[in-house]
């Protein structure tokens, strides 16, 4: 079993999900309040709304680059505030530590790849280091999933090739990112997607929750 890895998404996979819809609504409201038209950020994920809106504001009003920057800083701060508030009330699903321990004992290297911030992950899972070999949170990477480079950074740190690794997550973007690297992708139904959405996004297996990994992978 040595030389294999399992990469986990965090929210919706190892802990209950954040209210991402509400966070996105708040961030979109801030873009709207800054004067950014809907079509600039329609269909984008949360951090990407801020990037697209800041770029639009800077291009539209070159003399007001500071305003665009202040808008972006305030929006990033809002995300952090929401994440840290949620983290203070959230703990891992019951039995997560036991299952991670079993997978680790079976010889898997374990990673976490999340769009959440590092401080929030460590608040929810303070003893993470006992189980997880490497965390790549939002503040640790230049490219966020579904960009596969987010996962590749984690694989590189673990020293495991994509073909020997499994991506586990509740999100379509987890499956998309894993599939882009030809990883085996396992969807879990404890978050934001149903079985069909996960399969359409590239899941090779779909489990009710993380506990099924013991049977599937050991």
> Is 111 an interacting residue with respect to Mg ion (CB under 5 A)?
no
Tell me if 12 contacts Mg ion by CB under 5 A. yes
Cβ distance to Mg ion smaller for residue 18 or 49: 18
Q: Candidates 84-92, 178-186, 187-195, 198-206: pick the segment binding Mg ion (CB under 5 A).
A: 187-195
Site for Mg ion in 125-184 (CB under 5 A): 170-171
Q: Is the peptide bond before 146 cis (omega within 30 degrees of 0)?
A: yes
Binding segment for Mg ion (CB under 5 A), chosen from 39-47, 54-62, 138-146, 188-196, is 188-196
- Looking at the chain, the number of H-run helices and the number of E-run strands are 10, 6
Which residue stretch of 9-17, 39-47, 91-99, 100-108 sits at the interface with Mg ion (rule: CB under 5 A)?
A: 9-17
Q: Smallest distance from the beta carbon of 25 to Mg ion, in angstroms?
A: 18
82/150 Cα distance (integer angstroms): 22
Distance in Å, CB of 57 to Mg ion, minimum? 29
Q: How far is the CB of 36 from Mg ion (least distance, A)?
A: 26
Tokens of 177: 């990112």
Classify 127 as helix, strand or coil.
coil
By CB under 5 A, name the one of 9, 15, 68, 213 that touches Mg ion.
9
Q: Which stretch binds Mg ion (CB under 5 A): 12-20, 36-44, 87-95, 104-112?
A: 12-20
At 7, give phi and psi (nearest 5°). Answer: -105, 130
Among 4, 8, 11, 178, binds Mg ion (CB under 5 A): 11
Helices 20-33 and 46-60 pack at an angle, to 10 degrees, of 10
Helix (H, G, I), strand (E, B) or coil at 25: helix
Contacts 24+ apart (CB under 8 A), 67-76: 67/34, 71/30, 71/31, 71/34, 74/30, 75/27, 75/30, 75/31, 75/49, 75/50, 76/47, 76/50
Give the burial string for 63-101 (b: 16+ CB within 10 Å, else e): eeeeebeebbeebbebbbebbeebbeebebbeebbebbe
Residue 83 binds Mg ion, judged by CB under 5 A? no
Choice between 178 and 191, CB closer to Mg ion: 191
Residue closer to Mg ion by CB (options 55, 197) is 197
- Only one of the segments 21-29, 82-90, 146-154, 190-198 lies at the binding site for Mg ion (rule: CB under 5 A); that segment is 190-198
Q: Write out the residues near Mg ion by the rule CB under 5 A.
A: 9, 11-12, 170-171, 191
């Amino acid at each position: 079993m040595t030389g294999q890895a399992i990469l986990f998404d965090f929210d919706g996979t190892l802990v209950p999900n954040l209210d991402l819809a509400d966070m996105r609504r708040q961030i979109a409201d801030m873009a709207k309040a800054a004067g950014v038209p809907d079509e600039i950020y329609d269909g984008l994920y949360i951090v990407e709304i801020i990037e697209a809106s800041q770029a639009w504001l800077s291009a539209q009003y070159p003399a007001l680059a500071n305003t665009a920057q202040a808008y972006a800083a305030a929006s990033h701060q809002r995300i952090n505030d929401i994440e840290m508030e949620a983290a203070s009330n959230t703990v891992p699903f019951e039995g997560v530590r036991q299952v991670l321990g079993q997978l680790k004992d079976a010889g898997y290297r374990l990673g976490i790849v999340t769009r959440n911030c590092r401080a929030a992950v460590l608040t929810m899972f303070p003893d993470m280091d006992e189980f997880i070999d490497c965390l790549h949170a939002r503040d640790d990477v230049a490219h966020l999933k579904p960009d596969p480079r987010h996962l590749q950074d984690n694989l590189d740190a673990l020293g495991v090739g994509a073909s020997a690794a499994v991506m586990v997550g509740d999100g379509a973007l987890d499956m998309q990112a894993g599939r882009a690297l030809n990883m085996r992708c396992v969807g879990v139904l404890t978050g934001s997607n149903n079985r069909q959405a996960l399969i359409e996004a590239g899941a090779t297996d779909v489990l009710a929750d993380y506990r099924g990994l013991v049977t599937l992978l050991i």
